[in-house]
Structure 1
Amino acid sequence: MKELLFEHEGRLAEDLFEFSETIDTLVESEVSLQDFFGAVARCLNRVIQGSVFRLQLQALPDISPAAEGWSSLGEGEIILQISPPLPDLAARLVEQRLIHALKIILRNGPATTAVESDADRLRSLLGKSGSPAQRVDNLQRLGLAESRLLTVVAIAGDSGELRRAAALAQDLGGGQSPLLARVGDVLAVILREEPHQEVGVPKGLSVGLGEALPPERIHESWEGAKTALRFSQPSKSRRAPHRVIDAVVVDIAKVGCLRVLVDAVDHRNVRELDDVRAIHELAEKGPPDTLNVLEAVAATESIRQAAQLVHLHHNTVATRVDAAEGVLRFPLREIYGRTRLLIALTLYRLHGSSGARRLDGAPVHA
């Protein structure tokens, strides 16, 4: 059985030279990723496996040594594991050589034939990557090419909600099992029919609905779903139907021209606008339901209607409005003032989202 490289400190220089010579030869020969993994496994006499830009690969040496744990190498798009593990110093040297070589092979070498998962294909379609022929092939392999229209749904929420998010995706699809893929930490769902919007959304989750578009425009529906998600708020109760004002399920078609506010938030510091700063002050210093009350005022035609919406006495809401007007410095009982309030609240919410919320509650730009 071939002796393991990097097992003896006195041979570190010789082993590194042997390993580097093997890597250089493989790169110069423009081998495929699979062949590269196999040759590295034989050279190190170790099992090597990992994820290289979402492609899952594994290779075994000619005679597999007894496994004694793993060395974990790399980060980001290249994650490698080697067993038996390498000594710490050798692991750092091997990591540098392997990652550099893998990037060269991916850039210059022949196309890999590693099998992509359905989730990989779906992420590729949503990201508008690949040639037109590759996109058509992905649509066909996923069984989406013959669909008349597709709707992409984005679901986000708090930590540990992925299982309930998948169940919610099935409810939105009317009981059908839709295609799913994690994009960042947002769950992307592909529906062939119109979403069933009257479903109960579990506490902590929120939903953005994209446009229903032909398969070749699936990435546009995804962009709409992500934008709609930014206007959404986490569900406070699974009880359906959810009120429009609660913004638990947001349809990009109903967002309309307000979606331009997303560009405003992304390209300037809206927090410095006087109206947005005033909303922030009210949210920080007012009662916990301050923003909900203000949203009800902006969405209705009178104080009494707003009070009914938030289940408070109209005198209580009137007192809240008086206090808010003192901070905002414009009237909320006039149509112009309520419109201005709605825009300020929307900018404040969008600034707080800084992109679609993730399934662990943090922002993510997908």
Structure 2
Amino acid sequence: MEALATRLSNLDSHVEGAIRVVMFYDTLMRRRVDLPALARASAGLAECVAGIRLHSTGQVIRMSPAGTEASTAQPMSSRSPVTLDDEEIGEVWLERAGVANPLDEVVLDRLGIAVAAVVERYGPARTTMADPALVELVISADSDEAGRARALRLLGFAPDRPVRVAAVRTGLPLDRLAALVCPSHLVKAAEVGDAGVLLATKLGEFPDGARAGIGAHECPSRAWTEARIALRFTTSRSPVVHHPDLGALALLAEVPVASLRANADVAAVAALSAEDLETLDAYCATGSLRRAADLLHLHHSSVSRRLEQIGKVLDVADLARVKLALAAFRLL
């Protein structure tokens, strides 16, 4: 790498030096180097510590002139923003002791251009956790399409590829869940509000204990709305719900909570014990007393007695009505 450039300290003229710096970075880009290699080469060229930071991931790379990671932090002697589509996506800097070199500005300018090109080509480092602000830009209904496209690109997603959106709740760390669900596909995760967000090119199976609502709309903001609705309908028996599978039940999510609570059937379901609620859920899931007994690992006579008790406050014979009341109760 050193053969590609003359050391800045040995340059005879500013113009010649600037040309050599431009040629140096052109050569690096033709070789399609990554961000650590860019920082390492820049540190060797400038003969001081060179640094790169991406705002989207918080990733910081600092390399010493020796080609190793810099350990001791020094004040920045010069800094330059990294921009992509007129948006600042990061910064590059040099940590030079003493007087700045006349070509430091040129080095940082070309380094910033190179970093932007790498980010645009490959996306940020393949970390799972993402900047919540960027994720919110993607899923917010208030985002304009240009801003949403930039945010998706900064997160590593191709603009012409669909993005799946899931709303999740889990006892696992969110990055661990994302890695399990998408072991071989691009996925970004963040906590937004009271739920976790997964943005992925493809979603796999969710592990036991996790609950997930999955949107289907091609627009990420609409898909996020669908995913949050689907998440509200999840249960221990149905921990993953796809919004299209809800059908007309999804309309219940638009009913005010106060109206749901005031409904007599919903209030009756809310007053049931955990045992009776589990029995009613199994009965609704199977539509049969005996199959519900098998699901609960009970004798059918035990399930019959429980349903008879529930029937005092709720018409269990009308299965459609009971299912509707149970679904409405879950939204609370």
TM-score of the aligned structures, taking structure 1 as reference length: 0.53
Distance 1:191 1:133 in 2: 20
Q: What SS does the corresponding residue of 1:188 show, helix, strand or coil? A: strand
Q: What SS does the corresponding residue of 1:327 show, helix, strand or coil? A: coil
Is the Cα contact below 8 Å between 1:293 and 1:306 reproduced in 2? yes
Q: Which one-letter code corresponds to 1:133 in the other structure?
A: A
Distance 1:320 1:227 in 2: 31
Is the Cα contact below 8 Å between 1:265 and 1:347 reproduced in 2? no
Q: What SS does the corresponding residue of 2:312 show, helix, strand or coil? A: helix
1:203-222 alignment runs, 5 A limit: 205-211=210-216, 213=218, 217-222=219-224
Residues 15-68 of structure 1: per-residue CA shift (max 9 Å, x gap): xxxxxxxxxxxxxxxxxxxxxxxxxxxxxxxxxxxxxxx9x9xxxxxxxxxxxx
Aligned length: 211
Is the Cα contact below 8 Å between 1:149 and 1:212 reproduced in 2? no
1:235-274 alignment runs, 5 A limit: 246-266=237-257, 268-274=258-264
1:291 aligned to 2:277?
yes
Q: Which one-letter code corresponds to 2:140 in the other structure?
A: G
* Shift of residue 134, structure 1, vs aligned partner: 2.0
Task: Using the aligned pairs only, state the percent identity.
Answer: 28
Distance 1:182 1:162 in 2: 13
Distance 1:223 1:231 in 2: 13
**Paired residue for 2:231?**
229
* Shift of residue 112, structure 1, vs aligned partner: 9.6
The change in CA–CA distance for 1:177 and 1:170 in structure 2 (over 3 A counts) is farther
**Paired residue for 1:279?**
269
The change in CA–CA distance for 1:277 and 1:297 in structure 2 (over 3 A counts) is same
Is the Cα contact below 8 Å between 1:211 and 1:221 reproduced in 2? yes
Larger Rg belongs to: 2
1:149 aligned to 2:162?
yes
Consecutive unaligned residues in structure 2, runs of 5 or more: 1-55, 59-85, 92-129
* Shift of residue 342, structure 1, vs aligned partner: 0.6
* Shift of residue 341, structure 1, vs aligned partner: 0.5
Q: Which one-letter code corresponds to 2:254 in the other structure?
A: D
Residues 111-135 of structure 1: per-residue CA shift (max 9 Å, x gap): 9968597432121111133433222
1:134 aligned to 2:147?
yes
1:196 aligned to 2:201?
no
Residues 336-365 of structure 1: per-residue CA shift (max 9 Å, x gap): x111111111111111xxxxxxxxxxxxxx
**Paired residue for 2:319?**
338
Consecutive unaligned residues in structure 1, runs of 5 or more: 1-53, 57-110, 236-245, 352-366
TM-score of the aligned structures, taking structure 2 as reference length: 0.58
* Shift of residue 176, structure 1, vs aligned partner: 3.8
Distance 1:326 1:187 in 2: 40
Distance 1:311 1:302 in 2: 14
The change in CA–CA distance for 1:301 and 1:162 in structure 2 (over 3 A counts) is closer
